[in-house]
Amino acid sequence: MADDPQTGLAARETVELALIAALMYLPPRQRAAFVLRDVYGWTPQEIAGALDTAVAAVNSLLQRARHTLRRRAPSDPQDWRRPQLTSEDEEILRRYANAKDPETVRALLAEDVRITMPPEPPVVGIDAAAEFLGRPLDWRTFPTSANGRPALINYLRRPGSPHYEALVVDVLRIENGKIVESNAFIGARHVAAFSMPATLEP
């Protein structure tokens, strides 16, 4: 049946896990094109403008990204399993959520850490990432998980604002006790997907 709840659940699982596969396995420009096209619904023309490239190049990036996903995906979506957070993952996520300055953040990062925020260019390397993440902004953060990966829900209170606004969900990849990648999903709708409110009172 088209409206079978289990069918819908399986379809959503496939989309979610395909997205995680994209974040893990695709090169940066392929990843950006895939996320903007297949997640956000941008047109190839819009993506070309954001990536400062030709439409033909965007279509090539999408073709290669989808080929990688098909190659990585098992034939039966039921064979896809969500990874489980380890106690070490949870501890690093807790420390990351509480980090307030570049030095504290830096201790959690791998030397070649990468922060992605499509369509913005990535932040690459421990120095740039520590400075970027340690900016003195008024955040409220909530550790969680997304498809079995450590994640952080972030609310920002801008100067003069009476409340905190839902802004971004960071999905982390941790290897050997260090954060090697943070994929930022910017927009209140991503926070809402975790059943969290759009604003928080101070």
- Is residue 95 pLDDT above 60, yes or no? yes
Confidence of residue 19 (pLDDT cuts 50, 70, 90): low
172-196 pLDDT tens trace: 999 999 999 998 888 898 888 888 9
Six-digit token string for 181: 């990648």
Mean pLDDT of 46-72: 90
What domains are defined for the chain?
A: 5-79 (1.10.10.10), 87-200 (3.10.450.50)
Q: What is the per-residue pLDDT for 67? A: 87
Q: Is the pTM of this model over 0.75?
A: no
105-154 pLDDT tens trace: 999 999 999 998 877 888 999 999 999 999 999 999 999 988 778 999 99
